[in-house]
Amino acid sequence: MEGLERIVLAHRFFAGLEQELGPVVSGCARNHRFNPGEYLAREGDAANEFFLIRHGKVALEIHAPGQQPIMFSTEGEGDIVGTSWLVPPYRWRFDARAVELTRAIGIDARCLRDKCEADPRLGYEMMKRIVPIIVDRLDETRLQILDVYGKRGQ
Amino acid sequence: MSEAAAPDPFIPSPYRVGKVRRETRDITTLEVAPIDGQRPDYQPGQFNMLYVFGIGEVAISVSGDPAASGHYVHTVRDVGAVSGAIAKLPAGATLGLRGPYGTAWPVELAEGGDVLFVAGGLGLAPLRPAIYHVLGRRENYGRVALLYGTRSPPDILFRQEVERWRRRLDVEVLVTVDRADTDWRGDVGVVPRLIGRAGFDPHNAVAMVCGPEVMMRYTADALRAAGMAPDRIWLSMERNMKCAIGLCGHCQFGPDFICKDGPVMRYDRIATILTIREI
């Protein structure tokens, strides 16, 4: 097994992936290092890549005119950043900024999408891994919107 | 010879407010000491009924160190007429107090294993006596972690103390907020998400959870998903308490009264009741 493939398969997102799919997925992967303050992605940019965080912390932010950016989530070791690559028009919906030195694996989205189209087994495997993350984030967002720590009616 | 009449459980004892500290924009901590006699002992997790003369009475958990004698510490959020009046009491004011009441955090049962404190918002206040207890006997426990979630960085309760605990080498402290601006260096997200990052053995740990009920339900789910058995999870429940001695039924929770059988309750005992909307 090549070094990059080993790193990719060691990430929580790919835990338990069938061995024969390892080279297929890691063929779309590359290593990244982001310094604090550096952006992994900006809102509106093409979602050509998503990231498996190996180490560090990434803030997900929304900009509003005349205000400081609002940080709505942070992602760390074992998390993934980016799901827009799955859904047309494949554009980032938020900024992703490294808060501290961050090491990540970037997965070329077009490369992986093409491989998923060609092999529905891989596509289904990816969906089984992505959908629980989306559902968890929906639950978390629901809790945040509920503002459970605020006063009623505040 | 006639028997001595039992003291009326509804008559509060007079207490005087000592130090007052504003914690956040709507949360205040007060020390209160008995005007006459000794302060009764209490266990971590118990509460008192605080009575503001002419306004009313409300149940408030004790938030101080059980080992500190002479006074109770209460942390109050201004959410209504009585709690608002308590939060505005100045040093030297008098109030009535009945208690302590209710069940305690399982700090002795947890000895020998890991301890996970999970607090949301003001829920850190009822957990603080248990944290003091565990940290005061640190050698009796395995790994200790505090996971704390709140609304935003200015809403962090007991901030200096949380920072002090965080600097300790024998406690893991993870803090997350629901939203923040870019000055915040910590985590943003909900507190159940921290469970996967905390170091603990789910088969040999006890979790003590306190916060809004929705947060506690999600936290219990996350603890179960991490492999913790329901009889190792303890929640501090909140209902409208009036008599505090299991008579009036205001705080009925299924077959239990929160004032008498709670507020600290084991999750396996209440898990199904938590999902019944009418309760």
- CATH topology for the B114-236 domain: Rossmann fold (3.40.50)
Per-residue model confidence as pLDDT tens digits over A81-137: 999 998 999 999 999 999 999 999 999 999 999 999 999 999 999 999 999 999 999
Q: Is B147 helix (H, G, I), strand (E, B) or coil?
A: strand
Residue ranges, comma separated, of all CATH 2.40.30.10 domains in chain B are 13-101
Residue B4 above 80 pLDDT? no
Element (H, E) at B220: helix B213-225
CB A109, CB A115: distance < 8 Å:
no
Residue A153 lies in a domain: no
Query: In angstroms, how far is CA B107 from the centroid of its own chain?
Result: 13
Residue A151 above 70 pLDDT? no
Please answer yes or no on whether B211 and A148 come within 8 Å at the CB atom: yes
Type of residue found at B196: G
Residue of A nearest to B149 (CA): A149
Q: What pLDDT is attached to residue B144? A: 98
Element (H, E) at B213: helix B213-225
Element (H, E) at B261: helix B258-261
Residue A1 above 70 pLDDT? no
Q: What pLDDT is attached to residue A146? A: 87
In Å, how far is A6's CA from the nearest CA of chain B? 23
Q: Chain B contacts of A69, Cβ < 8 Å?
A: 181-182
Residue A9 lies in a domain: yes
Q: What pLDDT is attached to residue B251? A: 87
Percent of chain A residues past pLDDT 90, beyond the cut:
82
Long-range interactions of A123-128: CB distance < 8 A, separation 24+: A125/A17, A125/A18, A125/A21
Query: In angstroms, how far is CA B79 from the centroid of its own chain?
Result: 17
Type of residue found at B130: A
- Distance between CA atoms of residues B74 and B51, nearest Å: 13
pTM recorded for the entire structure: 0.91
Percent of chain B residues past pLDDT 70, beyond the cut:
99
Per-residue model confidence as pLDDT tens digits over A55-88: 999 999 998 888 888 999 999 999 999 999 989 9
Q: What is the ipTM of this complex?
A: 0.86
- Distance between CA atoms of residues A3 and A26, nearest Å: 10
Please answer yes or no on whether A59 and B178 come within 8 Å at the CB atom: no
Residue B238 above 90 pLDDT? no
The domain spanning residue A87 has which CATH number? Answer: 2.60.120.10
- Distance between CA atoms of residues A34 and A99, nearest Å: 9
Number of structural domains found in chain A: 1
Percent of chain B residues past pLDDT 90, beyond the cut:
78
CB A75, CB A56: distance < 8 Å:
no
Residue B255 above 80 pLDDT? yes
Per-residue model confidence as pLDDT tens digits over A18-40: 989 999 999 999 999 999 999 99
Q: What pLDDT is attached to residue A153? A: 46
- Distance between CA atoms of residues B26 and B39, nearest Å: 27
| Nearest neighbour of B179 by CB, restricted to A78, A139, A144 | A144
Residue B61 above 90 pLDDT? yes
Q: Chain B contacts of A146, Cβ < 8 Å?
A: 214
Is B178 in the A-facing interface, judged by CB distances under 8 Å? Answer: yes
Give me the mean pLDDT over the A41-51 stretch.
95
- CATH topology for the B13-101 domain: Elongation Factor Tu (Ef-tu); domain 3 (2.40.30)
Please answer yes or no on whether A99 and B193 come within 8 Å at the CB atom: no
Per-residue model confidence as pLDDT tens digits over B83-98: 999 999 999 999 999 9
CB A111, CB A32: distance < 8 Å:
no
The region, left, alpha or beta by phi > 0 then psi within -120 to 50, assigned to residue A90 is: left
Q: What is the CA radius of gyration of chain A?
A: 16
Residue ranges, comma separated, of all CATH 3.40.50.80 domains in chain B are 114-236
Residue of B117, B206, B212, B196 whose CA lies nearest to B162: B117
- Distance between CA atoms of residues B12 and B60, nearest Å: 14
Token couple for A7: 């790193």
Q: What pLDDT is attached to residue B275? A: 83
> pLDDT band at A154, cuts 50/70/90?
very low
Residue A129 lies in a domain: yes
Q: What pLDDT is attached to residue B200? A: 93
Best of B152, B187, B221 to disrupt the A interface (most A CBs within 10 Å) is: B187
Distances (CA, A) of A28 to A5, A105, B174, B235, B239: 10, 10, 34, 46, 54
Residue A154 lies in a domain: no
How many Cα atoms are found within 13 Å in the side-chain-facing hemisphere of B44? Answer: 25
| Nearest neighbour of A71 by CB, restricted to B122, B181, B211 | B181
Residue A151 lies in a domain: no
